[in-house]
Amino acid sequence: MLDSTHSEDSINETSTRPEVGPAYLCLHGHFYQPPREDPFTGHLPIEPGAIPYANFNEKITAECYRPNAEEGNFEAISYDLGPTLASWLEDTHPDVYQRIIDADRQHMARYGVGNAMAQAYNHTILPLATTRDKRTQIVWGLSDFCHRYGHDAHGMWLAETAVDLETLDLLAQYGITYTVLAPWQAATPVDPSKPYIVRLFDGRSITVFFYNAPLSGGVSFDWDTTSNADLFAASYLPEHLVQSKREAGEPQLILIATDGELYGHHKPWRDKFLNHLIHHGAPDYGFEVCTLERYMGLYPATEEVELRVPSAWSCSHGVARWDTGCECTEGDSSWKGDLRHALTRLAERGDQLFEQYAGETLSDPWAARDGYLPVRNGWETTESFWARYGKQQRPPDDPLEVQRTRLLLEAQYYQQYSFTSCGFFFEDLDRIEPRNDIAFARRAISLIWQALGIDLQRDFLVDLRAAKSWRTHLSAADLYRQLPIVRHDQLPPLPLPLLLDTDEQENIA
């Protein structure tokens, strides 16, 4: 448990010495793993690299999620738990899952606000998504959060902190009041020791917290920075305080935002570092451990900032890292643009079919897609779903129409998965993450084939041929062909590679 006595003492101490402004410390952990379940079976394959564990989710649970949950670290930090990871954890390690969820409830009971943030559902780079997909990602993320935590989310973590104004405006429209960005995402230099207001459309606005970049980088990437929590609090933290604010008695915040997995997985035993820092190191050296919504309540943002958009925390070329490719990853990254083109063309075709055919039974297929997650996951009854979204406010009489609508909604679900950012993050195409995005796209193709008998596989394979690995020279179409075999009636017949070549086709014709 958090040592409240000590924390309150340090506040009282500062209040009797008004010349020393209070210093707050917030540690935000972004807890997330790329989904790697086979979309046809729902099972995580054995991952030899994770030995002695069956897969990396198990390994990271043992090294990070479990110890941090059992040591009570989630109760004091700010955190987001990716929906796809939360689902796996809930099924596989319900005790760990419950502790993480309860941490937010305890924080709320104690401070009146939660400390968990929602996440856009599929870790999609939202500035690269269509408006409609942005909305679905946000609505699904919020719906998932509300189901798990039992209250609406007020903060949302954006995948890779990738942002544009439309994304922020949609967040604001759905009741989100704050998010976290890197300081270089501001158009002008900012003071990261305070939150800012970003003005949006139609009078809306959102608060952004800029994390402390040198400290977040040090905690993430430098081994020595996190070797001793007392030393960290005594020497690293004070260097980042704004002295003029200290002297003027003004409050300030040091926000350290990182991937959550570094606490124990990327860096062994850093769960202990975190635990000691929040319970002893920070309070002993005059820092009040705080969370973001709580800080906003104490000291609301007053100054406005303009953002550099689109931008993200791990690319210095806008969001090119996940789009056309850029120098942030080594080698020839042009495969990224080709893969994105193939996935986008598939999604456009899938969307047309969804609108046309699901529109026969649903009054507004896109609103129904936004509302699909609860019924899919059994949090809402099918009767209630059809009452809200069905053309006749009830399921169609023909069970085949019900089945077809369900398959088309499920195709949309996997289409969303196919844009998981991890597929574009790394240097090469011939890796597990791009393979997974292709596998999710294949699942969408399969569902459309089963629903309508329409073959989207052939054109997708033609488009995938353009994306090539600079390491192994395999194309994305080769990766598609290497995916696990499925029952023959689940996919259109696979064309011969020769027939995918346009020139050859013309010759044959």
Q: Which residues bind Zn ion (CB under 5 A)?
A: 315, 317, 321, 326, 328
Integer Cα distance of 36 and 422 in angstroms: 11
Report, in Å, the least distance between residue 413 CB and Zn ion. Answer: 30
Name the residue nearer to Zn ion (CB basis): 165 or 328. Answer: 328
- The CA-CA-CA angle for residues 343, 347, 349, to 5°, reads 120
Name the residue nearer to Zn ion (CB basis): 168 or 315. Answer: 315
The residue written with tokens 């990738």 in the block is 162
Report, in Å, the least distance between residue 161 CB and Zn ion. Answer: 14
What is the b/e burial string over 246-261, where b = at least 16 CB atoms within 10 angstroms of the residue's CB? Answer: beeeebbbbbbbbebb
Q: Quick count: other Cβ atoms within 10 Å of Cβ 217?
A: 15
Report, in Å, the least distance between residue 190 CB and Zn ion. Answer: 21
**Which regions of 32-110 does DSSP assign to beta strands (E)?**
78-81
Report, in Å, the least distance between residue 467 CB and Zn ion. Answer: 18
Name the residue nearer to Zn ion (CB basis): 194 or 321. Answer: 321
Integer Cα distance of 492 and 488 in angstroms: 8
Report, in Å, the least distance between residue 85 CB and Zn ion. Answer: 25
Q: Identify any residues that bridge with 80 across adjacent strands, giving them in sequence order.
A: 30, 117
Name the residue nearer to Zn ion (CB basis): 180 or 315. Answer: 315
Report, in Å, the least distance between residue 311 CB and Zn ion. Answer: 10
Name the residue nearer to Zn ion (CB basis): 340 or 404. Answer: 340
Instruction: Name which of 477, 332, 431, 34 is nearest 324 in CA terms.
Output: 332
Name the residue nearer to Zn ion (CB basis): 326 or 402. Answer: 326
Name the residue nearer to Zn ion (CB basis): 329 or 490. Answer: 329
Q: Check: CB of residue 135 under 8 Å from CB of residue 170.
A: yes
Name the residue nearer to Zn ion (CB basis): 209 or 322. Answer: 322
Report, in Å, the least distance between residue 140 CB and Zn ion. Answer: 27
Instruction: Tell me if residue 364 falls in helix, strand or coil.
Output: coil
The residue written with tokens 């086979």 in the block is 38
Report, in Å, the least distance between residue 316 CB and Zn ion. Answer: 5
Mutual angle of helices 432-452 and 399-417, in 10-degree steps: 160
Integer Cα distance of 32 and 72 in angstroms: 19
DSSP 69-80: HHTTGGGTSEEE
Q: Identify any residues that bridge with 263 across adjacent strands, giving them in sequence order.
A: 267
Report, in Å, the least distance between residue 329 CB and Zn ion. Answer: 8
- Pairing of the two strands 196-199 and 205-210: antiparallel
Name the residue nearer to Zn ion (CB basis): 69 or 126. Answer: 126
